[in-house]
Amino acid sequence: VFQSTPRAPPDVIFNLTASYKADTFKDKINLGVGAYRDNDGKPFVLPVVKKADAILHQDPALDHEYLPIGGIPTFTAASARLILGADSSAIKEKRVVGAQTISGTGANHLGALFLSRFYHPGAKILLSNPTWANHKAIFNNVGIETIDYPYWDAKKRGLDLEGMLNVIKSAPEKSIVLLHACAHNPTGVDPTQEQWKQIAEVIKQKNHFTFFDCAYQGFASGNLDKDAWAVRYFESQGLEFFVCQSYAKNFGLYGERAGCLTAVTSTPDAANRVFSQFEKLQRSEISNPPAYGARVVNLVLNDPTLSKQWQDDLTEMSGRIIAMRKALYSALKKLGTPGTWEHIVTQIGMFSFTGLTKEQVSVLKSKYHVYLTDNGRISMAGLNTSNVEYFAKAVDDVVRN
């Protein structure tokens, strides 16, 4: 039966982590995986999550029953408020529905699956070039073809707004446009508010459907509301859209798989119909979502004191990342490393697109035991006060030679 099954290539990121783990060099650095690490390079359990854990463990009513197909209703409602704002008109007018999903990946998948069934047949999705490696696979898996739009301008090490707008403008009407809500992965470059307005305008003119992916709310600026600005602006423009939320990074709940797919529609009736299809699709795929991570998030988002603590935890994480950006930038400046490095401090979120070439990345790995993806992306969270100088010296060497 399996004679003709071809071997699939290993996943790049997970493979990189495996090589890092197998490396016995004591000063090795893993800048591949997008997971927050503390200043000792250790995984970080957010203090607010520890509090929520303790509350949940003491709850005598806590059981292991199935959740509803669409997930915990107070979790999906709080997720909508988190991204759209508590005073969102769409929420007040009952035009918003959400389903709890298997983290952000599951939200992307459920949204993609819905569109493959109920959106214009043959519509393609426009993805930024580059984008999160999984986007293309997720949409292709449900039969939706992808088109790239320019995003990263390698020369200026910033956003290619003109290229992006041109492709969105020239795509057939009613295409689907995927936008990273904040902290673009992998470039760390987001449009400004003025640029977001131009993007929304073109999408409106062309009757495209917006598919927001929001995996880093709170990680871009450190402020949850600020990071939701683009999504809220689209709502204010009367646009309908999906937004995928992941609680992997901003709650540090990577393995718990807590996420949400929210639909902003134009009428309460449309919202109800969409939700009925979310439930129908979800039933045959996962039956019902996993409980634990969503219970933690549900508790925190619905409790003002815990929410405040969460914001403080986010400020701590994003603050450490910003400090590492500054430390890396000044170390490179001090070494006089050839090239411009301002983008290290101007880029935001967990990642930085360094501009290092594939060959330079390869030397970083073989000579310095520093692990990062071939496109030169580094996870800033992998840097700390003990290894940032070592990394800067390694970069300096590979750039010069």
Give catalytic residues, as residue numbers: 132, 213, 249
- Residue number with CB closer to ligand PMP (127 or 327): 127
Choose which of 76, 79, 103, 352 interacts with ligand PMP (CB under 6 A): 103
Which of positions 123-162 make contact with ligand PMP (CB under 6 A)?
132
- Residue number with CB closer to ligand PMP (216 or 341): 216
- Residue number with CB closer to ligand PMP (112 or 215): 215
259 makes contact with ligand PMP (CB under 6 A):
yes
Shortest distance, position 160 Cβ to ligand PMP, whole Å:
18
Measure the CA–CA gap between 23 and 18, rounded to whole angstroms: 9
- Residue number with CB closer to ligand PMP (71 or 104): 104
215 makes contact with ligand PMP (CB under 6 A):
yes
> Which uninterrupted H or E stretch holds 82?
helix 73-84
**Beta-carbon contacts of residue 132 (< 8 Å; ≥ 6 apart):** 180, 185, 186, 213, 215
Shortest distance, position 54 Cβ to ligand PMP, whole Å:
24
Which of positions 216-245 make contact with ligand PMP (CB under 6 A)?
none
Shortest distance, position 134 Cβ to ligand PMP, whole Å:
7
Q: Which stretch binds ligand PMP (CB under 6 A): 36-44, 101-109, 330-338, 381-389?
A: 101-109
- x-marked contacts with ligand PMP along 16-35 as a string, rule CB under 6 A: ------------------x-
Q: Which stretch binds ligand PMP (CB under 6 A): 1-9, 57-65, 97-105, 313-321?
A: 97-105
104 makes contact with ligand PMP (CB under 6 A):
yes
Measure the CA–CA gap between 395 and 400, rounded to whole angstroms: 9
Q: Which 3 state secondary structure label does DSSP give 311?
A: helix
- x-marked contacts with ligand PMP along 289-328 as a string, rule CB under 6 A: ----------------------------------------
Shortest distance, position 267 Cβ to ligand PMP, whole Å:
29
Name the token pair of 3.
């004679």
Number of shown-chain residues binding ligand PMP (CB under 6 A): 12
Choose which of 185, 217, 221, 384 interacts with ligand PMP (CB under 6 A): 185
Shortest distance, position 214 Cβ to ligand PMP, whole Å:
8
Name the token pair of 5.
């099954």
- Taking each helix axis from N to C terminus, what angle separates 73-84 and 292-301, rounded to the nearest 10 degrees? 50
Q: Which 3 state secondary structure label does DSSP give 249?
A: coil
188 makes contact with ligand PMP (CB under 6 A):
no
Measure the CA–CA gap between 248 and 270, rounded to whole angstroms: 30
- Residue number with CB closer to ligand PMP (20 or 211): 211
* 43 beta partners: 37
Alpha carbon 48 to its chain centroid, in Å, reads 21
Measure the CA–CA gap between 277 and 329, rounded to whole angstroms: 49
Measure the CA–CA gap between 249 and 229, rounded to whole angstroms: 19
| Residue-by-residue DSSP string for 145-210 | -EEEEE-EETTTTEE-HHHHHHHHHHSPTT-EEEEESSS-TTT-----HHHHHHHHHHHHHTT-EE
Measure the CA–CA gap between 322 and 326, rounded to whole angstroms: 6
* 65 beta partners: none
Residues of this chain that interact with ligand PMP (CB under 6 A) are 34, 103-105, 132, 180, 185, 213, 215, 246, 248, 259
